[in-house]
Amino acid sequence: MSALIERIRAAVGPAGLITRADESAAYATDWRKRYFGKPLAVVRPASTAEVAQVVRACAETRTPIVPQGGNTGLCGGATPDASGTQLVLNLSRMNRVRAIDVRNHTITVEAGCVLANLQRAALDAGRLFPLSLAAEGSCQIGGNLSTNAGGTAVLRYGNTRELVLGLEVVLPSGEIWDGLRGLRKDNTGYDLKQLFIGAEGTLGVITAAVLKLYPLPRSRAVAIAALRDPESALALLEKFQDACGERLTGLELFSDFCLTLVLGHFKETAAPFPSRFPYYALIELSDTRAGEGTKSLLEAVLEAALGEGIIPDAAIAQSESQAQAFWKLRELISEAQAHEGANIKHDVSIPVSRIPDFIRETHAGLARAHPGIRMVTFGHLGDGNLHYNVSPPDGVAADVFGGHLGAINRIVHDSVARFGGSISAEHGLGQLKREEILRYKSPVEIELMRSIKRTLDPHGIMNPGKLL
Ligand code: FAD
Ligand code: ZN
């Protein structure tokens, strides 16, 4: 094994290799501190050629590789196992913007580029890179691509997958595939880049990408609407889609219990209305036109919704700081729930039209099994993606509640399946849902995925134990 380490050291230099356990520990633990691994070493290559040399050495010695970006994934996908035989391949040093083609609306970046830095590089060129999520200060584009990350602007711009034109990948053999094409039309056979997007590092190491840029929005308007039930959220969504088209950038849903948690744990936050309602929708419109037009449009649609009785109340942000304060109410829910104590998370998607029935039926099922269970229902309603989390009934201890994890997952995920949904909408499978997915995908689909894996990675060295 030391021969391999020396070969890798020769390839990446001393700055690119960490072998001491105390220094590698941070790379061996996931963000939620649920998985603790023990890596053979942590390698931090500085170029695609170095990645290729490392992967080739690993292929020859059958050494497992765990690709790692910002390590903010929520499913243990970037964490090595405890065997001490897996190499963590961290992309952080590959963080250059290689090129921006303003007129082609494209940016070419290396995989280790932190998402916030990528957004800033686009902004400096007068363009928008629209992918946006709460982890953007730490997560890297390579990780975003490998998990096909979603976030808060999917309604308007799509998932990460929709933002990609080309990829550069180091294959499990150590060969480099240069697919860095900046083309919006290219019908020359299989669209291979799609295989690596959302593959969670199981098919190769993404080293660079050509991404789509968009014109900069020059105005935005944000509001919170009060809701009596999820049905009216759907009616409101439809109204905004009809009236605003692609100006509708986001439509997020959260329940009153989510608001209670945020207000309780973050003293700087304030309720949007003098009275409380069962649910709320946070709506954002944006436009490339500057001026008050976007806000006027928001007002007009909300007024119509009030007039038709779809919503009982609405509050429109009167300043940028108020818009940010509204968004905080939505963004702080996960953290507030963490402060509250143990909870069980679900990241599910359902056809948007069926979300109200899903919420009603699943809650009824959970309440029957666990009277008093507290639903922390929120998410990206416009995308049909709910973070359908549950907290224990008052007075039930965390470890007791944790003992019901499997049974609660079964109720929620079986309900998701009945409604034609997915048990992982945006976070991926990683280690967390690798077994669970076997219940919900057909044997034909699982075998198809396995055969692709075997073809690209015949020795099974790329991120073993994840996804499949
Ligand atoms: P990592 O965690 O390092 O890796 C994730 C997976 O990708 C692993 O399987 C890893 O092996 C693989 N991988 C990483 N880099 C490469 C590469 N270069 N080549 C091949 N494989 C690679 N996710 C959302 O979708 N939407 C959200 O709104 C969202 N909000 C979040 C908020 C918070 C506070 C946190 C902590 C996480 C959130 N996430 C969200 C989850 C997470 O941020 C995303 O999954 C993100 O895309 C992971 O990027 P990363 O660089 O941290 O990847
Ligand atoms: Zn989310």
- Nearest CA among 16, 221, 193, 182 for reference residue 98: 182
**What integer pLDDT is reported at residue 399 of this predicted model?**
87
437 falls in which pLDDT band (50, 70, 90)? very high
**What integer pLDDT is reported at residue 384 of this predicted model?**
96
For residue 465 and ligand 1, the question of a CB distance below 6 A is answered with no
341 falls in which pLDDT band (50, 70, 90)? confident
Work out which ligand 1 atom sits closest to the CA atom of 199: 21
Q: How far is the CA of 379 from the centre of ligand 1 (A)?
A: 18
For residue 427 and ligand 1, the question of a CB distance below 6 A is answered with yes
Q: How far is the CA of 142 from the centre of ligand 1 (A)?
A: 8
**What integer pLDDT is reported at residue 104 of this predicted model?**
98
Q: How far is the CA of 158 from the centre of ligand 2 (A)?
A: 13
* DSSP single-letter state for residue 228: S
For residue 467 and ligand 1, the question of a CB distance below 6 A is answered with no
Amino acid at residue number 74: L
Sign of the C-alpha dihedral, residues 91, 95, 97, 98?
negative
Q: How far is the CA of 455 from the centre of ligand 2 (A)?
A: 32
Ligand nearest to the CA of 348: 2
For residue 45 and ligand 1, the question of a CB distance below 6 A is answered with no
Is the separation of the CB atoms in 227 and 299 below 8 Å? no
Q: What is the rounded average pLDDT for all residues in the chain? A: 96
**What integer pLDDT is reported at residue 287 of this predicted model?**
97
Q: What is the mean pLDDT of residues 43-47?
A: 98
- pTM exceeding the 0.85 threshold for the entire prediction: yes
Q: How far is the CA of 144 from the centre of ligand 1 (A)?
A: 5
For residue 379 and ligand 1, the question of a CB distance below 6 A is answered with no
1 falls in which pLDDT band (50, 70, 90)? low
Phi, psi of 89 (to 5 degrees): -110, 100
For the stretch 281-333, pLDDT in tens is 999 999 999 999 999 999 999 999 999 999 999 999 999 999 999 999 999 99
2 falls in which pLDDT band (50, 70, 90)? confident
Amino acid at residue number 266: F
For the stretch 218-267, pLDDT in tens is 999 999 999 999 999 999 999 999 999 999 999 999 999 999 999 999 99
398 falls in which pLDDT band (50, 70, 90)? confident
Nearest CA to ligand 1 atom 42: 73
For the stretch 95-143, pLDDT in tens is 999 999 999 999 999 999 999 999 999 999 999 999 999 899 999 999 9
Percent of the chain with pLDDT over 70: 100
Is 419 exposed, middle or buried, given 0-12, 13-18 or 19+ CB atoms closer than 10 A? middle
For residue 78 and ligand 1, the question of a CB distance below 6 A is answered with yes
Work out which ligand 1 atom sits closest to the CA atom of 334: 34
Is the separation of the CB atoms in 254 and 377 below 8 Å? yes
For residue 110 and ligand 1, the question of a CB distance below 6 A is answered with no
**What integer pLDDT is reported at residue 309 of this predicted model?**
98
For residue 419 and ligand 1, the question of a CB distance below 6 A is answered with no
Q: What is the mean pLDDT of residues 404-409?
A: 94
